[in-house]
């Protein structure tokens, strides 16, 4: 939103309290004491924040060009539902923004309704985002084959590495793992961990080591969400709900060196520690 004085009241009396009421932590660049440049803070905020909120209200017949530029950045790197726009004027919108949903509110004359409108917009946006994430998780689960599923389980235990392929035998034996690794990368379930080097590493010849010894792969946020959904996909959540079935499952799984993904036991009144 604009740094102009009229917007300070909106921020302090309406927008900031509404964001907090929605269960989020508000962050406004000009209110920060960080020494980074404002542009750096804006770019970091747009990329790292859960949602992006902008007031594009027109003052004196024009909309703040800096705000519109930042909205363009937000729409370029974020999903549409993650960018929440509000305004209190009825003036003509630019063509590039006319097709985007813009909420109306009156923060200067009706604080209560304006807060409620912001909370509603933020809550609906988070619900839509969660729904989209759930769909993405299910699509990723359904796209896994046997080898990708097995490698995903390995990634849950820690970083995985690209297999060494020095001989024909290496290529033949590791072909399924290589294919599975590419599959997980394509689905966005894992990402590469880049190696970091010190002067001592350069002096010791670390750069001469094979790349597969230096590079590893770890779960992404989507990867963690997918692995978290595996117990439900496998039906283990239903086992947990039945104490008798849970007891049988615990006995069976105790024989495994690497037991399956059985969810934790649900907390009961008997297992819950007493309140102090």
| CB contact at 8 A, 143 and 223 | no
- The predicted model gives 166-178 an average pLDDT of 93
Which CATH code, of 1.10.10, 3.30.70, 1.20.144, 1.10.3470, is assigned to 144-233?
Answer: 1.10.10
- The predicted model gives 39-65 an average pLDDT of 87
Instruction: Say which residues have a Cβ less than 8 Å from residue 48's Cβ, sequence separation at least 6.
Output: none
| CB contact at 8 A, 2 and 55 | yes
As a whole number, the mean pLDDT across the chain is 85
What pLDDT score was predicted for residue 154? 92
CATH number of 6-134: 3.40.50
- How many CB atoms sit inside 10 A of residue 217's CB? 21
What pLDDT score was predicted for residue 257? 63
What pLDDT score was predicted for residue 195? 83
Q: What is the pLDDT of residues 131-144, one digit of tens each?
A: 999 999 999 999 99
In eight-state DSSP terms, residue 192 is: E
What pLDDT score was predicted for residue 188? 95
Domain boundaries, the chain: 6-134, 144-233
What pLDDT score was predicted for residue 191? 95
Q: Is the confidence at residue 258, as pLDDT, over 70?
A: no
Higher model confidence: residue 20 or residue 253? 20
Q: Left if phi > 0, otherwise alpha if psi is -120 to 50, otherwise beta: which for 61?
A: left
Please, which pLDDT band fits residue 88 given cuts at 50, 70 and 90?
very high
Angstrom distance (rounded) from CA 211 to CA 163: 10
| CB contact at 8 A, 29 and 45 | yes
What pLDDT score was predicted for residue 272? 47
């Amino acid at each position: 939103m604009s740094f102009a004085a009229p917007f300070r009241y909106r921020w302090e009396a309406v927008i900031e309290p509404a964001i907090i009421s929605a269960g989020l932590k508000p962050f406004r660049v000009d209110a920060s004491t960080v020494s980074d440049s404002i542009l750096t803070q804006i770019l970091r905020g747009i990329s790292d924040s859960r949602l992006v909120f902008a007031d594009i209200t027109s003052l004196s017949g024009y909309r703040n060009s800096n705000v519109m530029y930042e909205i363009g950045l937000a729409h370029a790197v974020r999903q549409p539902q993650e960018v929440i726009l509000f305004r209190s004027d009825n003036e003509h919108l630019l063509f590039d923004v006319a097709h985007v949903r813009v909420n109306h509110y009156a923060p200067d004359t009706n604080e209560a309704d304006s807060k409620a409108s912001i909370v509603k917009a933020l809550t609906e946006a988070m619900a839509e985002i969660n729904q989209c994430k759930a769909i993405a998780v299910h699509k990723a689960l359904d796209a896994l084959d046997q080898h990708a599923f097995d490698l995903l389980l390995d990634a849950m235990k820690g970083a995985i590495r690209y297999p060494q392929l020095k001989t024909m035998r290496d290529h033949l034996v590791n072909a399924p793992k290589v294919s599975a690794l590419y599959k997980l990368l394509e689905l966005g379930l894992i990402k590469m961990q880049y190696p970091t080097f010190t002067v001592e590493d350069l002096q010791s010849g670390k750069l001469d080591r094979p790349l597969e010894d230096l590079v590893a792969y770890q779960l992404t946020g989507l990867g963690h969400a997918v692995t978290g959904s595996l117990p439900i996909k496998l039906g283990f959540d239903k086992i947990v709900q039945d104490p008798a079935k849970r007891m049988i499952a615990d006995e069976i799984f105790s024989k495994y060196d690497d037991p399956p993904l059985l969810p934790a036991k649900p907390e009961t009144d008997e297992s819950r520690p007493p309140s102090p």
